[in-house]
Amino acid sequence: MRTIFRNVIVYILIGTACQSINQVENINKESWAIRMADKIIKNNNQLVYYNRKPGKEKLQYDVSMLGMAIDKLGSVDEKYSLYLQNYVDFFVDSAGRIKNYNPSEYNLDHINFAKNLITLYKRTGDQKYLTAIKLFVRQIESQPKTLSGGFWHKKIYPWQMWLDGAYMALPFVTQYAKEFNRPEWFDLATSQLIQLYDNTLDSATGLLYHAWDESKTENWCNPETGRSKEFWGRAMGWYIMALVDVLDFLPENHPQHDEIVGILNDVSDALEKVRDPETGVWFQVLNKAGEKGNYPEASCTAMFIYAFARGANQGYLPQSYLKIANNTFDNLLNEFIVEGPEGNHTITNICGSCGLGGTPYRDGNYEYYITEEQIDNDPKGIGAFVLAAIELKR
């Protein structure tokens, strides 16, 4: 009986994927998404070696996002989907084991890779992807939590919830709930999103701090609230993208559906208020555009464009946000794109990485955020750019 049921599920999944619902239609071959994807493929024969040398392969959340974005162009040319599949197959062997993945680290960043496993399982029906998916499911099921039930960002960061983790884990959790009939996971995803919002919200501005420490013991946090010190652009980028992506799978009749839509609208409103009027984009530290050392930042700008456009296109946000997204995309092109020969464009002003705690210790003050290395064509920026261009059909 179980075998029959499993076969029916596989049939349904493959059947519904025949037209590849993860891909998009009506993309102009001269679009920015195509141009950037072609540049990436031309310069990086294998995605696994994007900014990495052989022997240094790593399961990267940002490269996983970049591969997912490029795969959405598969309806234009199969090469874009094969580019993602080759990346995934580098890590997933025929038995479904995942190279360089250690579940005991309880690292939410790793979960982002699993979204692509669902895509490929639906597209191919290959059982190795399902086996690999179950490894991430087991991580989610045993992920350490705060006393209030929120996921720790990583095992090495006990009692801490980071906005980054919302995007890494929760769209996967919600899609898994929908595709594999686990409705209790809808509750799990919405609970995490709401907790993150409540624990990081600054009521005066509507902006969200990067992270929250339930123990209130970390040097990077406010000892009274547990919240970190600054409003980092990309942290809010991860969170708002998580909101729109979760809503794509969350049933409209779910008890928290309207609350999540409300949070999306409130966050979008707060972000629009701090968009820099001079450049028309967002800064690394969101509310301090005029302060010394702060700079216009490409990845968060692209993430907000994507979320505004997706939210408006899906009816979660007012249509006015689609106009904002388009206008900001023009500003992004002017501010961050450096055109090179043969379409070899560069996206500048991308913050390479920011975190909290760890060794050496990151105290999360203003100086820390504005002095972290900027990396041209970092996958976090390019991936978000491709997603934004696709959503706007630009």
pLDDT tens column, 277-313 = 999 999 999 999 999 999 999 999 999 999 999 999 9
CB 243 within 8 A of CB 179: no
Q: What percent of the chain has pLDDT over 90?
A: 89
Quick one: pLDDT at residue 54? 85
Burial environment of residue 315 by CB neighbours within 10 A (0 to 12, 13 to 18, 19 or more)? exposed
How many whole angstroms from its chain centre is CA 177? 18
Residues 6+ apart with CB under 8 A from 360: none
Q: What is the pLDDT of residue 245?
A: 98
Q: How far apart are CA 136 and CA 155, in angstroms?
A: 15
Can you give the pLDDT at residue 22? 66
The token duo for 123 is: 């597209």
116 closest CA partner among 133, 99, 138: 133
CB 177 within 8 A of CB 249: yes
d(CA 13, CA 123): 8
317 φ, ψ (degrees, to nearest 5): -120, 155
5: pLDDT strictly greater than 60: no
Quick check: 11 pLDDT over 50?
no
Q: pLDDT-derived band of residue 145, with 50, 70 and 90 as boundaries?
A: very high
| Residue range of the domain that includes 312 | 2-392
Number of domains in the chain: 1
Q: Please give the Cα distance from 49 to 44 (Å, whole number).
A: 7
Please state the φ and ψ torsions of residue 334, each to the nearest 5 degrees.
-70, -35
The mean pLDDT of the chain is 93
Q: Residue 164 is which amino acid? A: D
CB 264, CB 311: distance < 8 Å = yes
pLDDT at res. 15 = 42
Chain Cα centroid distance, residue 31: 22
SS3 (DSSP) at 37: helix
Q: In this predicted structure, which of 86-100, 216-230, 265-279, 341-355 has the lowest mean pLDDT?
A: 341-355
Query: Which residue in 164, 213, 245, 378 is the catalytic one?
Result: 164
* Inter-residue contact 178 to 13 (CB < 8 Å): no
What value does the mean pLDDT take over residues 228-244? 98
- Per-residue pLDDT at 106 exceeds 60: yes
Cα distances (angstroms) measured from residue 330 to each of 146, 273, 301, 305? 42, 18, 11, 11
164 in active site: yes
Q: Decide if pLDDT at 8 tops 50.
A: no
Q: Are 371 and 319 spatial neighbours (Cβ–Cβ below 8 Å)? A: no
Question: What is the predicted pLDDT for the residue at 244?
Answer: 98
Give the domain CATH number at 80.
1.50.10.10
Q: 140 and 169 in contact (C-beta within 8 Å)?
A: yes
134 with 83: CB under 8 angstroms?
Answer: no
- Helix H or strand E encompassing 212: strand 211-213
Q: Evaluate whether 257 touches 314 at the Cβ level (below 8 Å).
A: no
pLDDT in tens, 45-94: 999 999 888 888 999 999 999 999 999 999 999 999 999 999 999 999 99
Q: What is the DSSP string of 234-287?
A: HHHHHHHHHHHHHHTTS-TTSTTHHHHHHHHHHHHHHHHHTS-TTTSS-BSBTT
β-partners of residue 161 are 212
